[in-house]
Amino acid sequence: MSNDAHQKLIDERSALLAELTSLPHMVHGSIVERYTVCSRPNCKCHRGQKHGPVMCVVVNENGKQRQKYIPKEMRELAAQYVDEYNRALALMDRISAINVQLLQEKDHD
Ligand SMILES: [Zn+2]
The whole-model pTM stands at: 0.80
Q: Separation of 36 CA from ligand 1 center, angstroms?
A: 8
Our measurement of the distance from residue 102's CA atom to the centroid of its chain's CA atoms, rounded to an integer in Å, reads 27
Q: Separation of 44 CA from ligand 1 center, angstroms?
A: 6
Statement: residue 37 has pLDDT above 80: yes
What per-residue confidence (pLDDT) applies to 86? 97
* Mean pLDDT value of segment 26-48: 94
- Give the chain's mean pLDDT: 94
Q: State yes or no: cis peptide before 41, omega within 30 of 0.
A: no
The domains of the chain are located at 3-103
Statement: residue 109 has pLDDT above 60: no
Q: Separation of 52 CA from ligand 1 center, angstroms?
A: 10
SS3 42: coil
Strand ranges, E, within the chain: 30-36, 51-61, 64-70
Q: Separation of 55 CA from ligand 1 center, angstroms?
A: 17
* Mean pLDDT value of segment 46-54: 93
What per-residue confidence (pLDDT) applies to 107? 63
Q: Separation of 24 CA from ligand 1 center, angstroms?
A: 37
Q: Do residues 78 and 55 lie in contact, with contact meaning Cβ atoms separated by under 8 Å?
A: yes
